Amino acid sequence: MTATRRNALTLTALLTLASCAAPAASGDDTVRVKLADDRIVLNPVSVPGGRIVFDTVNTATALVHEIEVFAGATNGALLPVANSVADTTGLTLIDEIEDIIPGASANLTIDLIPGTYLVVCNLPTHYELGMWAYLTVTP
């Protein structure tokens, strides 16, 4: 591993840990996001609209992951794949966390209105492995 790559990974880890230090504000709903080698697990899978905290942990053994939150999803619909990533044409990227190294945690706080949202790791081949889940936001 080059010094530049090692420094980049160290910086990513430090920024990730720093983002975890801020607790969720009172009144926020929390969705726990578990990133495994081949899946994303959301708990719960339905929350009321408003400020949502995605409390994310990468439990994978060796893979770096990300989460992207898309609006405009249809629950259960599979996306086409091109060049080893999901084709998200027609969906709206709300926000994301990139480069979550194994063992690291990160939080993402966003305001969501009622609807169906797709949470995906769209690094090459990860969507095809099953790294996606749907979140329902209720009124």
Mean pLDDT (the chain) is: 86
Residue 64's φ and ψ, nearest 5 degrees, are -75, 140
- The CATH number of 3-138 is 2.60.40.420
> For the segment 70-118, what is each residue's pLDDT rounded down to a tens digit?
999 998 889 999 999 999 999 999 999 999 999 999 999 999 999 999 9
Pairing of strands 132-138, 46-48: parallel
Residue 108's φ and ψ, nearest 5 degrees, are -130, 125
**Which tokens in the block code for residue 41?**
């697990």
3 state SS of 79 = coil
For the chain, the structural domain boundaries read 3-138
Residues β-bridged to residue 53 = 30, 109
3 state SS of 5 = helix
> For the segment 106-127, what is each residue's pLDDT rounded down to a tens digit?
999 999 999 999 999 999 999 9
**pLDDT classification of 25: cutoffs 50, 70, 90:** very low
**Mean pLDDT to the nearest integer, 61-77:** 94
First to last CA, the chain: 48
